[in-house]
Amino acid sequence: MSHTTTIFKRELAGYFSTPVAYVFITVFLFLAGLLTFNLGGFFERGQADLRPLFDFLPWLFLFLIPAISMRLWAEERRQGTIELLMTLPISMTQAVLGKFFAAWAFASIALLLTFPLWITVSVLGNPDHGVIIASYAGGILFAGGFLAIGSCISAMTKNQVVAFVLSVVVCFLFMLTSLPPVLSMLSGWLPPVLLDAVRSFGFWAHFESITKGVIDLRDLIFFCSFITFFLFTNALILDVKKAN
């Protein structure tokens, strides 16, 4: 566990040692504010909640999370530093977890920095703070799922651009599977059992359930299992490439 913590601290500090982290956070906060106030009709809705923010959050994460994850392993492989990392007295699992949790913490920090919006709705009205807290928790889990996918794909290639594009595509597919128009299209040729299976793998449905203030154990199990599966696959890919 101490090795995982060491890698976590090194990676998290690495984000803030370059201007890239600050540019990312600035862009994220700007887009979040723009979408919330302009497209989301924050003031026009006349409701004291953060629904506009969390309605657009998955689309923000679709492009910004792969931008974080693309460098996790692709950069290590391109620079040849992955061989040095693997010579350290740490297991592959500790390395994968350390880098993942650092990226997850960074993404969570970016999301939590939208707290001025929370303060704004609190001043303007009387929001349901329980729903807002649940929505932030759902957003963090959503980011973790996308990061697990991105980390796994980053381990497959040395090219960060390739890792980014593939991560966006795969994450987009997992978003689509629970959207009503897609399910309606699939219902014409998929049996109900398979249709329910497709729906259960959709990020949007689980995230939307949490943003309503309902912390369902099934949603938590989905995100935790999803993240675990892709991190396990990540470690497996690195082991195979190390052996080669």
d(CA 34, CA 122): 19
pLDDT at 103: 94
Per-domain residue ranges of the chain: 2-243
Query: For each of the chain's 244 residues, which pLDDT tens digit applies?
Result: 677 888 899 888 888 888 888 999 999 999 999 988 888 777 777 787 888 899 999 999 999 999 999 888 877 776 666 666 666 677 888 889 999 999 999 999 999 999 999 998 898 888 889 999 999 999 999 999 999 999 999 988 888 899 999 999 999 988 888 777 776 777 767 777 776 777 777 888 889 889 888 888 888 999 999 999 999 999 898 888 765 6
pLDDT at 81: 66
pLDDT at 1: 61
pLDDT at 218: 87
Residue count of the chain, please give it. 244
pLDDT at 83: 64
Contact 161, 67 (CB under 8 A): no
d(CA 34, CA 53): 10
pLDDT at 85: 67
pLDDT at 79: 67
First to last CA, the chain: 27
pLDDT at 101: 95
pLDDT at 21: 86
- DSSP per position, 154-205: HTT-S-HHHHHHHHHHHHHHHHHTTSHHHHHHHTTTS-HHHHHHHHHT-HHH
Contact 143, 61 (CB under 8 A): yes
pTM of the model: 0.89
